[in-house]
Amino acid sequence: QVQLVESGGGLVQPGGSLRLSCVPSGFTWDYNAVSWFRQAPGSEREAVSCVGSRGTTYYADSVQGRFHISRDFAENAVYLEMNSLKPEDTAVYYCAAKAGTKNWQMSELYDNWGQGTQVTVSS
């Protein structure tokens, strides 16, 4: 059974940091692009960041300079380091995988998704 598992969410004050992790279960994703999306209540799912199989990274304008995506092939994991968090970053964060980074922002192109992890930025 193919599955992605996210972890690392939680409650943090504005200006704080969190690191999200995503690991696959049931498949090897060395050749896949892995992305993070987020969805706030009442909002559409939004693409946040993507890392390709060769380490190329992409970011949404809203997180550029604050978030950093990375992948560790030895740990078979992808991480999203989130810094200078703002209340508007509050959402459920999902990781997803697909072949290639083309059109990485389009959620409908992804084959595999995790269950999501809640990130709440509040004082």
Residue 105 pLDDT: 97
Per-residue pLDDT tens for 104-120?
A: 999 999 988 999 999 99
The pLDDT of residue 28: 74
pLDDT of residue 59: 98
User: Please, which residues have CB within 8 angstroms of residue 15's CB and are 6 or more apart in sequence?
Assistant: 84, 85
What pLDDT score does 26 carry?
77
Low-confidence stretches of the chain (pLDDT < 50) are: none
Measure Cα distances from 57 to 20, 21, 48, 84, 110 in Å: 16, 16, 11, 19, 17
Distance, CA of 26 to CA of 35 (rounded, Å): 18
